[in-house]
Structure 1
Amino acid sequence: MSNNAFARLGVPTSLSSVLEGKGITEPTPIQAVTLPDSLAGRDVLGRGRTGSGKTYAFLLPLVTRLASSGSRRTPSRPRALILAPTRELATQIEAAAAPLVAAEGQRTLTVFGGVGQGPQVSALKRGVDILIACPGRLQDLVQQGLCDLGGIEITILDEADHMA
């Protein structure tokens, strides 16, 4: 399989090209199994070890589906939510997402506690497509009326077992 391996699974060329630029041309087993269903909008539960490709397995369909949803970015109202248990994981997800969302003209924001919320609130007010959040800070922002989750089209729980 070549770079078209991702295209055959339904990943748009704009995103498979980003992967190819990173030297990723073959889907991992979890990607090959989950991408067709998640790209079609079905709920997916995936389990795999660190390094198995889980992050791209959910980021690729997320960015793809937002690009085709027809909705627009609006202030303080993200279109998708990724919950992660730790700031380290949230930051890793954002780093993996950055080139994908850039290819589609989307914006991400990562929010977590332990830092001032001012810059996070300002970014939310400018509008984000994908909010990557740790539960505590997200709850704070929602309770303060600074983040409205009513526009969420897609939700991803990363390492849900650690948040349970």
Structure 2
Amino acid sequence: MYAMPNNDLEEATPWLDSGEQQVWRRWLVATAQLYRYLDEGLRPHGIDLAEYDVLVHLSEAEDHRLRMGELAGQVHLSRSRLTHTVSRMESQGVVLRRTASHDRRGVVAVLTDEGMALIESVAAHHVRAVRRAFIDAIGRKDLMVIDRSMAAVIAATDPASGPPDH
């Protein structure tokens, strides 16, 4: 556990009890392992999980295109990380970058026909992996609990909700 409090701030800290700490640590391990499992499952197809996420969002977007800033928010990557990811994907021929037609300063990511073919060929494999390692492993009853729990975490960590307590 943590060191014993030695000042007023630490005494006011609501430390995790052993059960809370166990849940927190399991969540950290589970999310890291799940990410690694899904990422490794996509590697034989020549993409990683971040690239798959880009393909999904572009395939679902109107005209298969999104402004880079909007795409960064949807795939939860920094703009610089997204730029590197899209550059890699562009060199593979699955995504193109174009100047936004209505705003010459903006850049739009566009899914190519090759990119659409890639996601169509990989999606079923990826969904089976998600089902095996997450959906079926958890079960329907607990899945609804996790859905409510993750909605609460998202709400609590939303930048619009203000800075974290320190």
TM-score w.r.t. structure 1 length?
Answer: 0.29
Higher-Rg structure is: 2
Higher-helix-fraction structure? 2
